[in-house]
Amino acid sequence: MKTTYLRTRTLVAGVALSFAATCASAQTDDARYQKLEDEVKALRQQVTTLQEQHTREMAELKDMLKQQAAAAAASPQPLGTPAATVAPPSLYDSLKQSAAVLVPQAQGVKGVDLDMSVVLDLYFYHDDTKEGMSHLRQGLSGFGHHHDDAEGHDHGGPENGFNLRHVELGFSAEVDPYFRAWTTVAVDEDGAEFEEAVLQTTSLPYGLTLSGGKIKSGIGRLNRQHSHNWDFFDAPLVYEQMFGAHGLAEKGLQLTWLAPTPFYLLFGTEVFNGENEHSFNVGDADALPAHDAPRLYTAFMKTGPDLGPNHALQFGLSALSGRHQMVHEDEECADGDTSILGTDFVYKYDAKRTHGEGDFVLQGEYFYRDMGLDGEGDWSGTPWTAKQDGYYVQGLYGFLPRWRGGLRWDQIGLINDLDTPEDGSVTYGDSSRLAAMLDWKLSEFSLLRAQAGRGWYDTEDGREDAWEFALQWQLTFGKHGAHDF
Amino acid sequence: MNQFKVMLLVAACLSNAQAAKIKIVTTTTDLADIARAVAGNAAEVSSITTGREDPHTLTAKPGFIVRARDADVWIRIGMELEIGWEPVILRDARNTRIRVGMPRHIDASDHVIRLEVPTQRVTRDQGDIHPEGNPHYWLDPLNGRLVAATIAERLCALYPEHKAKFEEDLHRFERDLDTRMFGAALVDALGGENLWKAIAEKRLEAFLAEKGMADKAGGWYGTMRPHQGKTIVTYHRSWVYLTERFGLRGDLQLEPKPGIPPSAKHLASLVSDAEARKVRVILQEPFYTLKAAEFVAARTGAKVVVVPTMTGGSAEATSYLDMLDNVIRKVSAEL
């Protein structure tokens, strides 16, 4: 920078001089011209001498520095005795050294960097249904067929009285510079199962991330969340009926791509075995053809504009397609495909007060399911089809620091058209539910929640209305991970 | 002809290099302001937080992920202040260059003076205790100075072509900060570094007396000097660096434990403590509720002072230095 500036200045001076010289020669005699020439010569000589001197000095200085560095390396100066030739250390450098002493050195777990957490979730539940809410929900008209092939394995649907939702054990770590991994193991009185066991890349280029293992699918919005992150104590009906209370979690691979757009745009696609008893399942019957996994493919997209510091908005689209089989009785079964299309949105208002006071969240999801099966065995030659949908909308408001109130409206079966060998072509009614909840997060690690709901259900045994109440007490201990959007 | 082409190419490269500014994303506005002061025109600096929110709790919004994705350099406060949201942003941004531990991930707390580093095992029974120490260190202007040097040092290593400019800008920032802290008279006569060294070693008064400059102290130090030894009440333990630097006593909090909201029982005992120690100021950030502060104020006669601790937190706090200036002015007016 400085040299360029000097050069420019010399150049300007030179031009000015020669210009002056020209003028001079035009006006006056040779003597003055000669004098100017001499002056220029003298100047030139001075500059050359200066330049030479400068180069020499620089070289000497460099040599001196080198010698000093070598000397310092050979015999390090004891602290507190500043060398006469070297400037004393700057404030920053000296404090840097003392700060290094203050910073606590790696404490135990830091070396391992394995994050562990345990979630305990106790709730008291009561409803006024005739035969229990689990039974009622498994018999919702149009949706109730799936439990015929399940061996009475219902996922801890709430029972009246005290319920201990599975103990959730979470482990996560950055494995090496290339991969991270996490597992979530749900342990209950009947045993343990993986909710998730995910291996994930961290260093792929072009905004790509590849995940493998048992993954909670990226479709929809709620699907990724574990039950302890839900805003209500239970999942919406549409999730429960189309994917099960724990959502779609499958073995397979997931590839996501964060597009290089100025706004947030994420694409994802997944290949799964297809073992979801609600929508993508293979039955065990002689009459059914065998299909090798993978049998389920998904694609999803999420995007959101940047709306400044107080607002956030995100939209999502999801599509799923996979094999599905059902077994009614041993020889009555069907084989075909299920496709599901979904859309979701979430809007968040950040009031910029502490602990969620004044914050507002509005969120909703819609799913449409089309099952197109052909009868096999005793049903051979007849179709088994179902076109159904469902949605929920919920709003949450932080009316005090750490206190939130929420309302959720839930509906399934607005479209509920079935064509089955048993009942022929039938359009069933819808089921809906309204839930109100109040929660209090005493700290990042504990939560108390009360929820009350009224449901209007269309069941195989006719219409039934029911009240539900739940009181939830949830604690997390160990490391509490940061929350996703 | 060929020469012409080469010249065009060189020109294109040069203009490209000039257009491509270093994209620096910081977690807080104070870091953004300091980074801007150090990096000058060479960088385009933006902050994730606005200065108006509680930096402990924040939602990792999609927009933040896009900004982290495009960042050349990421600067955080560290000491677990951003633990609730920084990991999600860095994970989802997929920008391997700014991952924790990489040269382009600058932890501004690396070389600051830390307070309240626990010496014993911590449990969550004690509230939100940060195992690496209290992370609100930027309220000590000396730490602001050290943060600037930390950022400059790393930027010089990453972008040696701008080294001279970064160092020049750093010295300008340091001189501004020194002048605001001690007043121009002291800085001119004794040098900023010497003054800071003396205050860090708690021998500033002796140093000034020795140099015969005891009556020349100006700036924030001069403003706060008459109030040394007084006690103030604060909402959260986010002011300890300020009270420590300016010789106030700041051990009384409205919160019974860090991050735990004020309880009636705690406030009752706080009122008697505050009366006994003649507290005149209750200090808190704008994002906390005023109820507890007003409760104590009504019973002790102390004044509630609401002032942001982050750049951008109010109309007066337009820069890091103005933010500190605002704090000192408002606090000293009521002491």
Q: Convert the pLDDT of each residue in B118-162 to its tens digit.
A: 887 777 787 777 888 999 999 999 999 999 999 999 999 999 999
Task: Name which residue leads in pLDDT, B175 or B119.
Answer: B175
* Tokens read off for A269: 């696609």
pLDDT given at position A58: 65
3-state SS assignment for residue B98: helix
φ/ψ region of A403 (left if φ > 0, alpha if ψ in -120 to 50, else beta) reads: beta
Domains of chain B: 17-114+144-165 (3.40.50.1980), 224-334 (3.40.50.1980)
- A216 pLDDT higher than 80: yes
Chain B segment 209-268 residues within 8 A of A by beta carbon are: 259-261
Mean pLDDT of A205-222: 96
- Which of A104, A202, A203 is opposite residue B132, by nearest beta carbon? A104
Q: Which of B50, B69, B200 sits opposite A258 (nearest CB)?
A: B69
Is the pLDDT at A75 greater than 80, yes or no? no
Of A242-256, A381-395, B50-64, the poorest mean pLDDT is in B50-64
Which range, A123-137, A167-181, B136-150, is most confident?
B136-150
**Residue A109: pLDDT over 50:** no
Q: Give which of B128, B89, B140 is closest to B257, Cα–Cα.
A: B128
User: Is the pLDDT assigned to residue B11 strictly greater than 60?
Assistant: no
**Average pLDDT over all residues of chain A:** 85
Residues 6+ away with beta carbon under 8 Å from A21: A33, A36, A37, A40
pLDDT digits (tens, 9 = 90+) for A418-440: 999 989 999 999 999 999 999 99
Average pLDDT along chain B = 92
Domain boundaries, chain A: 1-67, 117-478
Written as one letter, the residue type at B218 is G
The Cα-based distances of A143 to A133, A238, A429 in angstroms read 15, 10, 11
Chain A residue numbers with beta carbons less than 8 Å from the beta carbon of B289 are 353-354, 357, 401
**Distance between CA atoms of A213 and A201, rounded to whole angstroms?**
12
- Residue B273 CA to chain centroid, in angstroms? 29
Res. A357: pLDDT tops 80: yes
* Region A295-304 average pLDDT: 97
- Among A55-64, A85-94, A189-198, B20-29, the range scoring the smallest mean pLDDT is A55-64
B184 Cβ under 8 Å from any chain A Cβ: no
User: pLDDT class for A98, splitting at 50, 70, 90?
Assistant: low
- Residue B44 has a pLDDT of 97
Residue A67 has pLDDT above 70, yes or no: no
Candidates A95, A304, A305; nearest CB to B113: A95
Beta-carbon-side half-sphere exposure of residue A323 (alpha carbons within 13 Å): 18
- List, as ranges, residues 257-286 from B with C-beta within 8 Å of A: 259-261
At B7 the pLDDT is 53
Chain A contact present for B289, CB below 8 A: yes
Supply the pLDDT for residue A418.
Answer: 95
pLDDT of the residue at A80: 41
CATH number for region A117-478? 2.40.160.10
**pLDDT score, position A420:** 93
